[in-house]
């Protein structure tokens, strides 16, 4: 029995997320959760503009400045709904550039996922550095510095498979990207089968 079976781990993998892949994933995330809501708001504001444009044409001269102000405010809000998602994406991608070389780890257990960042080793005092030969002799291997989140399978968890990645999320404000290129075809099939069993309709392909 191998180490993964002993620990109850179904699959474990370390990977990096290329900049272009994260850009594609975040764009897909916005299209699913941000743009539909924004389109509804834009449509409502467009109707408001048309109604008040009618009032401008048919209303009294004294009320026209007020109607024009309402139309201007609605147009500004429409522009904000279009511009803001692009601004957020641009700022986020600039931040991602700074952490493009970070490494991540996904561990799949029968009842939950653990996903997070492999942190760089902390600098140690040169006087306290360990001797590699002694470490090998006593099997004293330092533990991996890992910061992760445990995600249990529940009705709020969603996993979506795209051509190049899996998107994992519980809330509409946060998601995880798992690049498929880091996994073998056998490992990808293990993930698909497990997610389908645990999540049913909450696992889908796009």
- C-beta separation of 9 from 108 below 8 A: yes
Per-residue pLDDT tens for 125-155? 445 555 555 455 545 455 568 778 899 999 8
Percent of the chain, pLDDT > 90? 62
pTM of the model: 0.74
Residue 5: the pLDDT is: 45
CATH number at 1-17+102-206: 2.30.29
Binned at pLDDT 50, 70 and 90, residue 6 comes out as very low
Query: Mean pLDDT over residues 173-185, rounded?
Result: 91
In this predicted structure, the answer to whether residue 179 has a pLDDT above a threshold of 60 is: yes
Delimit the domains of the chain by residue range: 1-17+102-206, 18-99
Residue 166: the pLDDT is: 96
26-35, 64-73, 82-91, 144-153: the lowest-pLDDT one: 144-153
Edge-first strand order for the sheet with 11-15 is 11-15, 103-108, 112-118, 146-152
Average pLDDT over the chain, rounded to whole? 85
CA end-to-end distance (rounded Å), the chain: 36
Per-residue pLDDT tens for 76-119? 999 999 999 999 999 989 888 888 889 999 999 999 999 999 88
CA 24 from centroid of its chain's CA atoms: 11
């Amino acid at each position: 029995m191998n180490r993964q079976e002993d620990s109850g781990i179904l699959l474990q993998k370390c990977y990096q997320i290329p900049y272009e892949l994260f850009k594609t994933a975040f764009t897909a995330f916005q299209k699913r959760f941000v743009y539909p809501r924004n389109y509804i708001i834009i449509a409502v504001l467009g109707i408001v503009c048309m109604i008040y444009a009618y009032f401008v044409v048919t209303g009294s001269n004294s009320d026209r400045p007020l109607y024009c102000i309402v139309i201007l405010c609605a147009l500004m809000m429409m522009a904000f709904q279009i511009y803001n998602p692009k601004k957020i994406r641009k700022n986020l991608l600039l931040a991602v550039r700074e952490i493009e070389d970070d490494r991540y780890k996904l561990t799949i257990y029968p009842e939950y996922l653990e996903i997070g960042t492999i942190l760089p080793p902390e600098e140690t005092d040169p006087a306290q550095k360990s001797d590699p030969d002694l470490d090998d002799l006593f099997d004293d291997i330092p533990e991996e510095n890992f910061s992760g989140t445990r995600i249990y399978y529940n009705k709020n968890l969603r996993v979506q498979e795209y051509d190049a990645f899996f998107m994992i999320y519980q809330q509409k404000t946060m998601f995880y990207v798992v690049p498929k290129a880091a996994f073998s075809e056998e490992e990808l099939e293990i993930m698909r089968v497990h997610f389908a069993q645990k999540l049913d309709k909450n696992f889908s392909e796009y």
